[in-house]
Amino acid sequence: MSAIPLPAPPHPIAERRPIRALPDELVSQIAAGEVVERPASVVRELVDNALDAGARQITVRLLSGGVRSIVVEDDGAGIAPDELPLALLRHATSKITSLDDLEGVSTMGFRGEALAAIASVSEMSVHSRIPGAAHGLRLDARTGELSPVARGVGTSVEVRELFFSTPARRKFLKTDATELAHCVEAVRRHALARADVGFSIWHEGKLIEQWRAASHYADRVSAVFGDAFVTASVPIDTAGIAHALGATGGVSIRGLAGVPDAARARADQQYVYVNGRFVRDRLIAHGVRAAYEDVLHGQRQPVYVLFIGIDPRRVDVNVHPTKIEVRFRDGREVHQAVRRAIDDALAAPRALAAGAQGQGEPSGTSWDQGGALETSARAPVTWPADGRVGPAPLWPTPLGRQQALSLNELAVLHAREPSAPWAGIAQVPTAQPDAAAWPLGRALAQLGGVYILAENALGLVIVDTHAAHERIVYERLKASLGGDTIASQPLLIPTTFAATPTEMATAQSEHATLSALGLDVAPIGPATLAVRAQPAALADADPAELVRSVLAELQQPGRATRVVQRARDDILATMACHGAVRANRRLTIEEMNALLRDMERTERSDQCNHGRPTWRQVSLKEL
């Protein structure tokens, strides 16, 4: 074969050209390439500016999805007449003056390039009036012309014909409907962080979204996502705990984490803020994912809104012009804090069962402390202060909502109205006098060999026996994995079984893993394995079947290379499934009650290891 000719270099340099500084306009246009990708980027920057100016009400008006026109009006501090032309200059800002300011920056903006960039790719004008001024001023960005206008205190920025001067860019825009959706999403991100500010969005003269200023965070989330988001999530507030422990600095996490049942097919309701700024961060996303891993089924996407509070000096927001990426000085600390906070919130049954008996705070989330999450001296992210978002009012109407009720919630309801549903109707026949104190009630019967039916203060409880037991065994196994190994128990008589060549090989190569799992497995012939010990927590399991299923798990490609912990959890899950009560096994009432009490004590017992719910409440009303 003849030699393949090399392709020509993309830009043959014919002659040397002199070095020149680029004209200002072109520099701005280049910068605009990074900052302004589509109408939604303009909306984001203008709303950022309005919030930095202390606005209480922000109105966004769009034409053709923002492509033809974007107007953002605010009632903030305004821009002084002599500073108006400066606002449009590149690298001109009122938000920082020194490197020290930059390192501790707490405003949304600080780079001083948004208005300049937007002006370079659109027809822009700024109207503004400061308190005490006789009238407002309008600045035409293209001509630099200033003219008086009548308006209230505050600022409006009008951006028309985006990318009219850069047609190549304009071609990348999608349909108006798509661009509009992105614009609304940009406002939504701000609205979720600032419940104290009112937002409205108009498109083609029609009001399409309105989020009134709310003094309670849950009201804003309900307005944005609907009540279901709030009722199907648990509050997180590590700030209260850190405060109680006297911890200073560090990382605080507040927000709402959806219960596993509320998970969605798409990752479209996942919002993370660092010091009030919406960010996309793989580290944080991973921390969240890790916390949900244990309770979520397959590819389901959890829903959450998280506010991470951290000393501004320990996070670099100047990583990207759009500031959607951040860099933490100690990423591991943040990752762990996120994972722990969500883990604790989701594992609440244990804490809540205690709460039901009137002992202490459910899950330790005391939102009553409230106050402001300080992210900015000028514009704190306000957090409701009177406790209305605390656990109790999040679930105001217990009856008739069987889907998303968690053990967690049940215990709260229980604590509040122990026997209200049937007060004055009839006496409940209870075998044990304290049965009403059990959130999951007392067992009545087994149905189809699969379900336990129980009666509690709210009505009927239906428990998936295998799913529930599987979770209990799994959590028990995890707990018994105190150090690095699971407590093992020797078998009185070793069990032998005929093994395949692969099983033989795996048993030998994974001997250490098997020991760590509490299994003592050794070859006693060319095709025979002996089991000499198995986990104490699984004393009743069939040793041969247990070892076979673990070996099958260990054989899976890539398993050995995965993080040990993760692989072990998977293997533990396999073992738990194995050790859990099988379908069609008859249980006595005592066994059923024991299982219910175990569930109340076990973390994450609302879901089995595969993320399926383990129980359902059916209220008397529904019945």
CB-closest chain residue to Mg ion: 109
The site partner of 380 among Mg ion, ligand ADP, none (C-beta below 5 to 8 Å per kind) is none
In the complex, the smallest distance separating the C-beta of residue 44 from ligand ADP, rounded to whole angstroms, is 11
In the complex, the smallest distance separating the C-beta of residue 192 from ligand ADP, rounded to whole angstroms, is 20
The site partner of 218 among ligand ADP, Mg ion, none (C-beta below 5 to 8 Å per kind) is none
The gap from C-alpha 406 to its chain's centroid, in whole angstroms, comes to: 18
The site partner of 53 among ligand ADP, Mg ion, none (C-beta below 5 to 8 Å per kind) is ligand ADP
The site partner of 318 among Mg ion, ligand ADP, none (C-beta below 5 to 8 Å per kind) is none
In the complex, the smallest distance separating the C-beta of residue 194 from ligand ADP, rounded to whole angstroms, is 14
The answer to whether residue 596 forms part of the interface with ligand ADP (CB under 6 A) is no
Q: Where are the alpha helices (DSSP H) in 510-588?
A: 511-516, 543-555, 564-579
In the region spanning residues 274 to 293, those forming contacts with ligand ADP, defined by CB under 6 A, are: none
Q: Cα separations (Å) of 440 from 102, 116, 423?
A: 54, 62, 19
Task: Indicate the DSSP class of residue 144.
Answer: -
Among 563, 571, 346, 383, CA closest to 477: 571
Measured distance CA(288)–CA(121) in Å, rounded: 38
Closer to ligand ADP by Cβ: residue 82 or 484: 82
CB 214 within 8 A of CB 220: yes
The site partner of 29 among ligand ADP, Mg ion, none (C-beta below 5 to 8 Å per kind) is none
Which of 32, 42, 71, 114 binds ligand ADP (CB under 6 A)? It is 114
The answer to whether residue 112 forms part of the interface with ligand ADP (CB under 6 A) is yes
The site partner of 74 among Mg ion, ligand ADP, none (C-beta below 5 to 8 Å per kind) is ligand ADP
Phi, psi of 49, rounded to the nearest 5 degrees:
-65, -40
**Number of residues counted as binding ligand ADP (CB under 6 A):** 22
In the complex, the smallest distance separating the C-beta of residue 107 from ligand ADP, rounded to whole angstroms, is 7
Closer to ligand ADP by Cβ: residue 55 or 352: 55
Q: Residues in the chain, how many?
A: 623
In the complex, the smallest distance separating the C-beta of residue 144 from Mg ion, rounded to whole angstroms, is 20
The answer to whether residue 258 forms part of the interface with ligand ADP (CB under 6 A) is no
CB-closest chain residue to ligand ADP: 109
Q: Where are the alpha helices (DSSP H) in 417-450?
A: none
Query: Using CB under 6 A, which of the segments 43-51, 180-188, 305-313, 507-515 binds ligand ADP?
Result: 43-51
Task: State both tokens at 161.
Answer: 């014909």
Query: Using CB under 6 A, which of the segments 14-22, 47-55, 321-329, 493-501 binds ligand ADP?
Result: 47-55
Measured distance CA(363)–CA(237) in Å, rounded: 10
The site partner of 112 among ligand ADP, Mg ion, none (C-beta below 5 to 8 Å per kind) is ligand ADP
The site partner of 317 among ligand ADP, Mg ion, none (C-beta below 5 to 8 Å per kind) is none
The answer to whether residue 136 forms part of the interface with ligand ADP (CB under 6 A) is no
In the region spanning residues 36 to 55, those forming contacts with Mg ion, defined by CB under 5 A, are: 48-49
Q: Cα separations (Å) of 64 from 43, 447, 533?
A: 14, 59, 71
In the complex, the smallest distance separating the C-beta of residue 55 from ligand ADP, rounded to whole angstroms, is 7
Measured distance CA(616)–CA(460) in Å, rounded: 8
The answer to whether residue 376 forms part of the interface with ligand ADP (CB under 6 A) is no
Measured distance CA(386)–CA(383) in Å, rounded: 9
In the complex, the smallest distance separating the C-beta of residue 86 from ligand ADP, rounded to whole angstroms, is 7
In the complex, the smallest distance separating the C-beta of residue 30 from ligand ADP, rounded to whole angstroms, is 16
Task: State both tokens at 208.
Answer: 């399409």
Give DSSP secondary structure letters for 592-621.
Answer: HHHHHHHHHHSTTTTB-TTS-B-EEEEETT
The answer to whether residue 57 forms part of the interface with ligand ADP (CB under 6 A) is no
Task: State both tokens at 147.
Answer: 């003219």
In the region spanning residues 77 to 136, those forming contacts with Mg ion, defined by CB under 5 A, are: 109, 114
Name residues whose C-beta falls within 8 Å of residue 602's C-beta, 6 or more positions apart in sequence: 349, 350, 471, 472, 475, 476
The answer to whether residue 602 forms part of the interface with ligand ADP (CB under 6 A) is no
Tokens 């979720």, residue? Answer: 192
SS3 488: strand
Phi, psi of 452, rounded to the nearest 5 degrees:
-100, 130
In the region spanning residues 68 to 107, those forming contacts with ligand ADP, defined by CB under 6 A, are: 74, 76-79, 87, 93-95
The site partner of 517 among Mg ion, ligand ADP, none (C-beta below 5 to 8 Å per kind) is none
Query: Using CB under 6 A, which of the segments 111-119, 418-426, 519-527, 592-600 binds ligand ADP?
Result: 111-119
Closer to Mg ion by Cβ: residue 126 or 473: 126
The answer to whether residue 406 forms part of the interface with Mg ion (CB under 5 A) is no
Among 79, 88, 160, 95, CA closest to 121: 160
Measured distance CA(503)–CA(521) in Å, rounded: 11
Closer to ligand ADP by Cβ: residue 109 or 384: 109
In the complex, the smallest distance separating the C-beta of residue 110 from Mg ion, rounded to whole angstroms, is 8
The answer to whether residue 66 forms part of the interface with ligand ADP (CB under 6 A) is no
Closer to ligand ADP by Cβ: residue 115 or 345: 115
In the complex, the smallest distance separating the C-beta of residue 408 from Mg ion, rounded to whole angstroms, is 41
| 86-90: long-range contacts, CB 8 A cutoff, minimum separation 24 | 87/115, 87/126, 87/139, 88/115, 88/116, 88/119, 88/124, 88/126, 88/139, 88/141, 89/116, 90/24, 90/27, 90/28, 90/31, 90/116, 90/117
The site partner of 95 among Mg ion, ligand ADP, none (C-beta below 5 to 8 Å per kind) is ligand ADP
In the complex, the smallest distance separating the C-beta of residue 91 from Mg ion, rounded to whole angstroms, is 12
In the complex, the smallest distance separating the C-beta of residue 573 from ligand ADP, rounded to whole angstroms, is 49
In the complex, the smallest distance separating the C-beta of residue 92 from ligand ADP, rounded to whole angstroms, is 6
CB 568 within 8 A of CB 518: no
Which of 111, 203, 469, 604 binds ligand ADP (CB under 6 A)? It is 111
In the complex, the smallest distance separating the C-beta of residue 337 from Mg ion, rounded to whole angstroms, is 29
Percentage helix, strand, coil, to 5, in the chain?
40, 20, 40
Q: What is the number of alpha carbons within 13 Å of residue 301 lying toward its C-beta?
A: 11
Backbone angle region of 448, left / alpha / beta, with phi > 0 → left and psi within -120 to 50 → alpha: left
Measured distance CA(254)–CA(306) in Å, rounded: 6
The gap from C-alpha 124 to its chain's centroid, in whole angstroms, comes to: 37
Residues found near ligand ADP in the complex (CB under 6 A): 45, 49-50, 53, 74, 76-79, 87, 93-95, 109-116, 155
Residues found near Mg ion in the complex (CB under 5 A): 48-49, 109, 114
